[in-house]
Structure 1
Amino acid sequence: MNKHITTFCLALIFLMFASCIDQITFPLDKGTEKLIVSGQINNLDEDKFVFLSETTSANREPLYSGQYLVLNDLPRPVRGAQVVVIGSDNSQSRFNEIGPGKYMLGREVKFKSGVEYHLEIIIQGKRYLSIPEKMPDIVGEDELSYEFVRGNFKGAPETAFISIQTEVSLPETIEPYYLRWDVDEAYYWNLTFFPNPFNKAPPDCYVFDFPDPERIALFNGQASGFSTNQNRQIVAQRVVDESFLSRHYFNVRQVSISRESFDYWQKVKVLVNNTGSVFDTPPAPIRGNLYNDKDPEEVVLGYFEVAKVSQKRIYTTRADVPFFLPEICTYERNRPLDKYPKTCLRCSEFPNSTNDTPHWWFDQ
């Protein structure tokens, strides 16, 4: 299988899955590097992000890892870009680079209905623009539930997994609308409590991830043909493991998007079904809504969305899980330190983790 792993998703981009699905290989032209853009602005009171990276070209220079030079197909973050969102009301809001290829706009910036917004990116003198979009006026509501199941999970029999479902209240309108569901997860991880003279517990550890990156849940309100405003969707499934020993959240975002964005994600969905994950660089170039204003023939991958979002959360605790869960981080007196998984010793071993409690953690 030929996979080109990249930061290619809205919201936080952290790849943790690898798929075993058979692929249809589409050759990706590696003669030139291609810019990958992923980002969204919306109506929520939250920080907004844009992620920039580049695919690997055939003549790319080796990357210094800190110890040695490496050559690989992994896209590399684009640093030092100027990223600005511009409104038809003459507003301008600049994203600040907070990490390699990760640009953030603070939650204090608000976006208005009826205003067209587009993204401007300047990289080494090249100027990239997104096609302007307005924020949709409507979005539905989700009523979340979960079910623990033991059965066939992506070809693996007798597997314990959880299924996150929503009973969707669809918008009551005769106007066309288009929906997508994004799901991320956050859970508390128990680090090993080693005995010490001060009886000091290890720091809190919160881990963030995407539970089901292969799934792209879409709904076309214009073509649905539903006579009621209710619809049931499975929005995520994932294996039950040690992360369910403590509180485990699933954050579900129902995203109302433009027809153009819906068509884009439909194309990505077709390719994901053949290649394995939404985080893989498309094996055939899919044009999004971004372009080089001096070279419209340049292929730019990804999409910048202007969306209206409804967000709900649901969580499980250990008492909810009907399966046995091994406690791999429990202290054992005669167990050597090197026999503990590294994730039992340091929260930072997880690619996306923090010792700070999310502000919403105890809201439910």
Structure 2
Amino acid sequence: MKTTTYIIYFVLLFLGSCIKPYNLDIPSMEGLMIVDGLVTDFPGQTFVSLTRTADYTASSLNLTVQKALVTISDNLGQKTQLVEVGAGLYKPALTTWAGMAGRTYTLTVTTTDGKTYRSQPDLLSAVPPIDTLYYSYNRKATAGSDYVDKGFDVYIDTKDPATPDNYYRWSWQAFQRVLFCEIEVVRNRFSNNAETLIPHYCCTDCWDINRCYSCVTTTSDKLINGQKISRQPVLRAPFESIAPYYVEITQYSISKAAFDYWKTVKSLAQNTGGIFDSAPITLGGNVSNVNDPAERVFGFFGASGASTKAVLIDRSKTGDTPNLLPPPPPVPSMPPPCRTCVESIYRTGVKPRWWKD
């Protein structure tokens, strides 16, 4: 029983970094391109993620698109080539590179099979700063169950500018330091294939990056133009331990096209449980195959101003008992060779900006 518990724990802990942002469980859509990208006016935040949909035999997997030629160009003719920093993840080679407000940006991708994909230009608009970031702890009963959802609701306040037609989106990412970069499963064929878990320490500092791709938070200033946006909910942090929970929230000023796209994403996620679970044809994007416009391409490449703030949630002062995770398995007396912290959109060896040890 303990072995099973440990396996479940480490599958969740380690493979959580392998969860993909999109999942199409439709056999007829095997191998379609998925583009997830954003250029911002904040250094280090620009990225492009390229994957392809898998067939129904691998319904939880998207295949990364590697070794592509990825370029971002603006309306002034300036081009920036991105480099692959992880499987299917591309970023500017110059870490200080950032977009500029008032310019439009276009993504061009050429894959190793010679196909070229291009996005529609998207305008980068400046964004007002996040004024305040705060949280509150609460318990939520679950209908028809004894389970109590314990967590911390996180909110932001900001001030909308006097100009009309402003659109906002919020995203978040939480960082948790990991000790083990790989959990090796060794089977003993002489003992009914009994499994032994061997944790491999990370060779350097490493953090898991947690995100929620189906948690889409957007709004417009249609009804509140020039007023304060107060107590805007962004995420609910779990109360699974008393260890600090570090989270960064980014506020984006997005275009009308991006706003419409993310509204559709939110609608599909709420109505079907997943972005592509049902009627994915309704989810349009702004990327197409240059030589074959009829090819279905999913995702959106956008440009946005960005304002980021971080909060370290102190989970030790609730006076409540957390929903504790099971303990890790014992570490062998002689630790095996360490493993590299592989950079991706789900894991990083780069210390978060406001991280405090």
Please indicate, yes or no, whether the TM-score normalized by the shorter chain is above 0.5: yes
SS at structure 2 position matched to 1:273: helix
Matching residue of 2:106: 118
Of 179-188 and 103-112, the range deviating more from structure 2: 103-112
Give, as a single letter, the amino acid of the residue that structure 1 aligns with 2:214: E
Match of residue 291 from structure 1: 288
Q: 1:16 to 1:103 in 2, by over 3 A?
A: closer
Deviations 1:183-214 (A, max 9, x none): 111134578xxxxxxxxxx975533212x443
Aligned residue in 2 for 1:220: 220
The answer for unaligned runs of 5 or more in structure 1 is 1-12, 19-25, 59-70, 192-201, 339-344
Alignment of 1:119-268 (within 5 A): 119-123=107-111, 124-152=113-141, 157-166=147-156, 168-188=157-177, 206-210=207-211, 212-221=212-221, 223-225=222-224, 228-242=227-241, 244-245=242-243, 247-268=244-265
Supply the distance in 2 between the matched residues of 1:142 and 1:150 (Cα, whole angstroms): 27
Residues 348/275 of structure 1: CA separation in 2 closer, same or farther (3 Å cut): farther
Q: In the aligned structure 1, how far is the partner of 2:137 from the partner of 2:151?
A: 6
Q: Report what 1:96 is aligned to.
A: 83
AA in 2 matched with 1:173: A
- Go from structure 1 to structure 2 and tell me whether the alpha carbon gap of 1:347 and 1:207 turns closer, same or farther (over 3 Å shift): farther
CA distance in 2, matches of 1:321, 1:206: 25
Q: Which amino acid aligns with 1:136?
A: S
Distance 1:269 1:95 in 2: 29
Cα drift, residue 107 of structure 1: 2.3
Cα deviation per residue 1:22-69 (whole Å; 9 max; x = unaligned)? xxxx984615531100010101121421110111357xxxxxxxxxxx
Task: Indicate the residue corresponding to 2:183 in structure 1.
Answer: none
**SS at the partner of 1:182?**
strand
Q: Is the partner of 2:58 in helix, strand or coil?
A: coil
Name the structure 2 match of 1:46: 44
Instruction: Tell me the distance in 1 between the aligned counterparts of 2:356 and 2:327.
Output: 24
| Partner-residue secondary structure (3-state), 2:257 | helix
Cα–Cα, structure 1 residues 111 and 353, in superposed 2: closer, same or farther, change >3 Å?
closer
Superposition deviation, residue 143 in structure 1: 1.2
Is the aligned partner of 1:307 residue 2:304?
A: yes
CA distance in 1, matches of 2:177, 2:216: 26
Q: Which amino acid letter does the alignment assign opposite residue 234 of structure 1?
A: P
Give the distance between the partners of 1:85 and 1:349, measured in 2 at CA. 25
What SS does structure 2 have at the residue aligned with 1:30?
Answer: helix
Q: Which amino acid aligns with 1:163?
A: D
Deviation for aligned residue 1:319? 3.1
Flag the 1:76–1:27 CA change in 2: closer, same or farther, 3 A. Answer: closer
Secondary structure, aligned partner of 1:307: strand
Q: More strand by proportion, 1 or 2?
A: 2
**CA displacement, residues 262-318 of structure 1 (integer Å, 9 cap, x when unaligned):** 00001111100023356x677513221111111222221000010011111111234
Letter of the 1:15 partner, please give it.
I
Equivalent residue of 1:90, what SS? coil
CA contact (8 A) 2:163 2:226 kept: no
Q: Secondary structure, in 3 states, of the residue corresponding to 2:48?
A: strand
Deviation at 1:174, TM superposition (A): 2.7
TM-score with structure 1 length normalisation? 0.73
Contact 1:27–1:284 (Cα < 8 Å) also in 2: no
- Identity, % of aligned positions: 23
Contact preservation (8 Å) 2:47, 2:89: yes
SS at match of 1:218: strand
Contact 1:250/1:315 (8 A) holds in 2: yes
Alpha-carbon distance between aligned partners in 2 of 1:169 and 1:288, rounded to the nearest angstrom: 28
Is the CA contact 1:48–1:107 (under 8 Å) kept in the aligned structure 2? no
- Deviations along 1:107-138, one digit per CA (max 9) or x if unpaired, are 22232222221000111211111111221134
2: distance between equivalents of 1:300 and 1:248?
Answer: 36
Equivalent position amino acid for 1:98 in 2: V
* TM-score calculated relative to the size of structure 2: 0.74
Closer, same or farther: CA 347–316 of 1 in aligned 2, 3 Å: farther
Q: How many residues align?
A: 307
CA separation in 1, counterparts of 2:228 and 2:36?
31
Give the partner amino acid of 2:234: V
How far residue 96 of structure 1 moved from its aligned partner, in angstroms, is 0.7
For residue 184 of structure 1, what is the amino acid of its counterpart? Q
